[in-house]
Chains A and B, each alone.
Chain A
């Protein structure tokens, strides 16, 4: 072997060794205040910084913004979250940092594949996700969230999230919400029979599972009526309701499907009461021909009170969102986006206090949260993220009644309560599994 060839082989071997030993883990740095950080945090100020002397925490947001089925929720949720973090920054930020939730906002079109792609795109630049909208979409990135210690705030309420450390959910889930609705109806409306009309999947099936559990606990007859999206596809569900004649119907569909079912059943003389989970409501339905039936027969269950409720958090939200924009399309997506942001703020604060703003540090901060100050929008106990799922899951929900004079068409009828079924339920796995 010539000397040249020997040198070349040695160089290649050295390079191979160097590449092989390269450390893929993000490099940990230390800020001026002694706070450690790795990904998605910079010493430089945020693009729209209020205090240029502060560093920046970047949070990503993946939502349904243009053509997916939940655009009506995704757009206000995203706008509300931007307003939330702007308010946090104006109040001094998180320690020596401000938070940016505007630079890495992506559209998932409610498609798990697109969700995964845009997540991969923004992942190297963000500390966590201020929003990951949808259950199937979030499920598509869950494995990576877990392996990379990326905290995500879900814009969905499936009971599966309580079993994931990296998911920072707020309020109760569809399962407990439906249990409480059945208990409420059994107690207040004296319902003896119940039907669950629901979409397939972890939204509708979760609510139907909660309904079934509560029906059994209350000795009520239960009828399961799965249905498909689309106004024109609700005829069979209405017919099955008319045949079963339940006193109570728990709805977990979209708004137009819910209105078609309530209006269509009422036209045929159906007298039962409906309680719909929060995604079944849209205030625009009060302008539809189903409005009289909805006013007479429909209630909405929810994880928290609607826009316009008298709490400090609701007032802050109303002050932060442009009134003209809200009036043009009143929507409780604003309320949801605002509420969901509180635990992320608490976790960031705790991580900064512990001088560890790395992804692992933020995860540790989340797992140690015992309470969160939701400024009255949710009880502080809803912010418990430590302990087993059965201990930390929040079981309280509210019931609202249609009120056309309210900003989003519904007003609280029964404030936060835990029904006897939800209280006793042993929560060892997601309800729909």
Chain B
């Protein structure tokens, strides 16, 4: 599988503070499923921001879809962003738009015809179990429902990479399992999934996933080949 994301000696510094991310190097294979874990403040959200092009690194090289996005002209970035779906930690639903319009947003941004929007949005609403809440405003939804809307919005454009920041933080264990099943289904369709979480049982649930661990801004497992918690040793 070819690399869809490559970080080479990436560093990120906010203002004059010390580096939030230091010498981060890794590559993600197209179609892979990755967990990014680490303690709070380890730099997970910062790394994801670099990944979904909300931030430029202070140093290093980031290649997305084979192109160096650090030196890419600003006007070319929207095209790259449309290939990445993001589930934000705080959902970032547009409060004055209905659930339907929130989910349809990426399709409208991409300029899709209105007649082509209804079917995928309706399917997506049903997929996340909100078929009857299409006209509701986000404020009237529970935390879990808002999270599902955020996920539906992130995946409706069939992104090549899906980035999720603590996607199960506001849902119960059952819903967390269902969300992971959704992500796995998407992954099987070819989407590269990157999920930041510190929910270890969740990581254990996805057998095919690889894990990267951030510790004080440094990637402690750059190969992504180690699993945590470790597989139980075979008896004998």
Q: Do A and B bind each other?
A: no
Binding site for B on A (CB under 8 A): none
